[in-house]
Amino acid sequence: MSFDRLQSLIKTTKCPFAVELSPRMEETSEDFLSFARDLADSLRGVAPALRLSLGDCARLGWQGIKALEELLSYAGERGIFTILDISLCSLSVPISAFPADCFLVSGYLGSDSLTPLLEECKKEDKSLFVLAHTANSSAGELQDLVAGDRLVYQVAGDLARRLGKDDLGKLGYSRAGITVEGIYPSDLRTLRKRWEQSFLLVSGAAEDVRFAFDRYGRGALVSTAEPTAAARAADRTPAAALERVKALRDELKQYVTIL
């Protein structure tokens, strides 16, 4: 299963970070692809994963989609785990259409959207991160509402856990991971126990996200957009991104030991 491979890459690099990458509004698809390839080369062996968005690349038209496909293949050939966010269009995008290892999808469409995707992932040996909680400022307007004895985002995460509970990899992780960004550290600690067989995709400071990992430093991936933003604002080389990832990795080492 692809989450077994992801955990293996995290163990090798001692760096549980996924670098978010998206085109800027003012650049062409060729410029984006060139920068992204250089970034993938520099991160090889340092960071295990890249996270991209179908919606962001679609802003560049068909050229942006073509660049996305090429970048996914390019990164995959270099051993980088690739995550593609299709959460805005997961009903209409077949898993086989893009050479990604994992897809980020919405859990709010219910099981009739997730079950076919999980079945397709099983055939293709891929996995999902099911969206439960996001880090945007208005997320709480819906995701933090009370639904019976749970919060709405917990219902979404529990759905992913239930649908994936019978399809586990060698390391014991379900094919259906859960995205829980913007969660308080105390809540994240509880969720790690609640969803012990689920790989978690989180974001935030090292001091906070440490609670997403189990006692062996496993089971979580931290998504960060800061490295690419910093690099491209400076001299448009991957050097700043590489240094930022290393700094984040070293900061997290103060709290998490990856075994």
Give all domains of the chain, ordered by start, each with its CATH number.
2-232 (3.20.20.70)
Cα 157 to its chain centre, rounded Å, is 15
The confidence score (pLDDT) of residue 236 equals 57
Report which DSSP code applies to 178.
E
Q: What pLDDT digit, counting tens, does each position of 114-128 carry?
A: 999 999 999 999 999
Per-residue pLDDT band at 231 (split at 50, 70, 90): very low
Sort 19 into a burial class: Cβ within 10 Å, 0-12 / 13-18 / 19+.
buried
39: which 2 tokens? 């970034």
In angstroms, rounded to a whole number, what is the distance separating the alpha carbons of residues 78 and 38? 12
Closest CA to 184 of 151, 227, 226: 151
| Residue 173 pLDDT greater than 90, yes or no | yes
Sort 69 into a burial class: Cβ within 10 Å, 0-12 / 13-18 / 19+.
middle
Q: What pLDDT digit, counting tens, does each position of 41-98 carry?
A: 999 999 999 999 999 999 999 999 999 999 999 999 999 999 999 987 766 677 888 9
CB 163 within 8 A of CB 110: no
DSSP-based three-state secondary structure for 20: strand
